[in-house]
Homo-oligomer: A and B are copies of this chain.
Amino acid sequence: MKIAILGYGVVGSGVAEVLKVNSASVAKKAGESIDVKYVSDLRDFPDEPYSFVKNFDTIESDPEVKVVVEAIGGETIAYDFAKRAILAGKHVVTPNKALIAAHGAELFALAEKHGVHLLFEASVGGGIPLIRPYCGALLTDEIQEIAGILNGTSNYILTQMHENGTSYADALKSAQKLGYAEADPTADVGGFDACRKLAILLSLATGKTVDYTNIETEGIENISAEDFAFAAENGYTLKHLATAKLTADGVQAIVAPFLVKIGHPLSTVRDVYNALWAKAKTTGNVMFYGSGAGKLPTASAVVSNLVDIAQNAHAPHTWTAESVRILPASGYEMKKMLRVYEG
């Protein structure tokens, strides 16, 4: 199976690397080898062994390319190329939560019309095999509540504050130094990244579009060492949760810092790890835990979607353009203005 990778940044080059490193196990699972026919990037990479093209036309018009991996990011060029790939009859795999949260319904409808898949395992929870079991097992059940630690940068900062008493500012600096946080960390520490991921999970659960701009979103910028001291005194830690209760009237969704009891599985999710905690009617409580970001874990999730396509063993994970009602989140006990997650 021939594929093309759009964007040779962290994830794009990671996909090429994982396909190389794991080529034997991938070929065994997929039933055929998965080969990178083209890589598209505006930059030059003379030392890399792939066939680089600067123009999407070559990829679009090559019938041998069965799958396009969109690893450009953002919602503009990525949207344009994803659409063109689908129109050209190619499957699309993307780790791009912004693209899926903003244009999911439209792209899914287009993909269905053109008989191709649009898969996005890596868009939520990075390397955690999460979308597949969430959609496979939990959606035959009735999901009642979810609570995710979905942003590695924020979780790294809160872990530093909890374990070492580091101040928010110093923990942020350390995250930037390690490459976990960008120069402008707003999307991460402000909760906007986690909010888009929550919207994707809720769209999957409801089958309809969740407008992430309607979800109450509070970042971690105002958490202080005193908050952690208060939490510790009472047997809690602080975690930045993207959480929602699913009701017949809509979803009560919020992204905000929460007190989480020490000993709760979510309390052990340290550093850049992510986790999704879910409660379903008959399955009960489940948690999926793993690397929320990172080159190889994220790339591995993209590759698992490539294998899904090769195996043709993919169950459709989509939603419609119809909107879900987003209700204010309520029912959390307030302690010193801090919400307690009792899940």
Contact = CB atoms under 8 A, between A and B. Distances in A.
A313 to B, nearest CB: 4
Contacts of A288: 133, 286-289
Given A137-B121, A140-B304, A287 B286 contact: no
B129 A286 contact: yes
A334 interface: no
Contacts of A283: 127, 129, 290-291, 296-297, 300-301
A213 interface: no
A177 interface: no
A322 to B, nearest CB: 14
A304 B136 contact: yes
Given A136-B308, A304-B137, A308-B136, A286 B22 contact: no
Interface in A137-170: 137-142
A281 interface: yes
- Chain A, interface size: which category? 35 or more
Contacts of A129: 133-134, 136-138, 283, 286
Interface stretch (A64-72, A79-87, A260-268): A260-268
Contact of A284 (B22, B136, B296, B303): B296
A129 B286 CA distance: 8
Given A25-B142, A132-B133, 11 more contacts: A25-B140, A29-B139, A136-B307, A137-B301, A267-B268, A268-B268, A282-B297, A283-B297, A287-B290, A288-B289, A289-B289
30 contacts: A18-B141, A22-B141, A25-B139, A25-B140, A26-B140, A29-B139, A128-B286, A129-B133, A129-B134, A129-B137, A129-B283, A129-B286, A130-B133, A132-B136, A137-B300, A140-B303, A140-B304, A141-B300, A263-B268, A265-B265, A282-B296, A282-B299, A283-B301, A284-B294, A284-B297, A287-B288, A287-B289, A288-B289, A308-B315, A313-B313
Question: What 7 pairs across the A-B complex have the smallest Cβ distances?
Answer: A129-B137, A129-B133, A286-B290, A313-B315, A287-B289, A137-B304, A282-B296
